[in-house]
Amino acid sequence: AQKITQTQPGMFVQEKEAVTLDCTYDTSDPSYGLFWYKQPSSGEMIFLIYQGSYDQQNATEGRYSLNFQKARKSANLVISASQLGDSAMYFCAMREGLIQGAQKLVFGQGTRLTINP
Amino acid sequence: DVKVTQSSRYLVKRTGEKVFLECVQDMDHENMFWYRQDPGLGLRLIYFSYDVKMKEKGDIPEGYSVSREKKERFSLILESASTNQTSMYLCASSLERQFSPLHFGNGTRLTVT
């Protein structure tokens, strides 16, 4: 069974510092996708970044980048120059199979990030 | 912009009641999903649908059913609500295209007393 592990329940970071949120995954499927979502206190889930298993380059999206280490099965999210608005819950997720075109995403437990002024 | 709308933000129901959670998306997405979110457990998939009237069980379907009569609408049904179904319920939709991200609604916080 596929599994996503986020080992940091909570993190506290000073504003303007870079932060790395850890995510490891377990799959025997050679083709898979990894996603990161942000959930602010308001509750909505916001898609941040995506990495495909066959992608040669690490994904980047503005201040977000994904440190993808395939051999170690890790897909850490890096936020550069953190801002107060980055305080939120962050979820790592992996696509699980492809049934009739539907992507089942399996989520980790989440990491609560708090940015201190 | 994709909009996924869940009919209620907060809901309080009694044990044994039949509960309907409604979700509507306006982007003609083929796929729709229902997740529940609990502290320390992340999001767990209850059911999903890849077409009208088509559904597949997720990881925790027990105690739930779903209905998709129209492409834009996906309903989650709790046949007989129990206190262990108190949770945050999140609806999502996506295109059929591979690696298309899920777009989520704002969630319904259900309390069963």
Two tokens, residue A36: 């990161």
Residue A105 has pLDDT above 90, yes or no: no
Contact A106 B98 (CB under 8 A): no
Report pLDDT digits (tens) over B1-37: 669 999 899 999 999 999 999 999 999 999 999 999 9
Residue with tokens 């040669």: A56
Two tokens, residue A108: 């980790």
Q: Are strands B10-13 and B108-112 parallel, antiparallel or unpaired?
A: parallel
pLDDT at B40: 85
What number is the average pLDDT over the span B107-112? Answer: 96
Contact A100 B107 (CB under 8 A): no
Closest by Cβ to B56, choosing from A9, A35, A99? A99
**Residue whose C-alpha is closest to residue B77's, from B41, B110, B29:** B110
Residue B53 has pLDDT above 60, yes or no: yes
Q: Identify which has the larger pLDDT, B110 or B97.
A: B110
Report pLDDT digits (tens) over B63-107: 999 999 999 999 999 999 999 999 999 999 998 877 788 999 999
Q: Identify which has the larger pLDDT, B51 or B77.
A: B77
Residue A1 has pLDDT above 60, yes or no: no
pLDDT at B100: 83
Strand partners, B112: B13
Report pLDDT digits (tens) over A26-65: 988 888 899 999 999 988 899 999 999 999 899 999 999 9
pLDDT at A101: 62
Q: Can you say whether the dihedral through the CA atoms of A73, B44, B106, A112 is positive or negative?
A: negative
Contacts of A90 in chain B (CB under 8 A): none
Q: How far is CA A91 from the centre of its chain?
A: 6
Q: What one-letter code names the amino acid at B11?
A: L
CA distance A95 to chain B (A): 8
pLDDT, mean over chain A: 91
What number is the average pLDDT over the span A16-20? Answer: 97
pLDDT at B96: 80
pLDDT at A102: 67
pLDDT at B95: 86
pLDDT at A104: 80
pLDDT at A99: 61
Closest by Cβ to A103, choosing from B35, B41, B94? B94
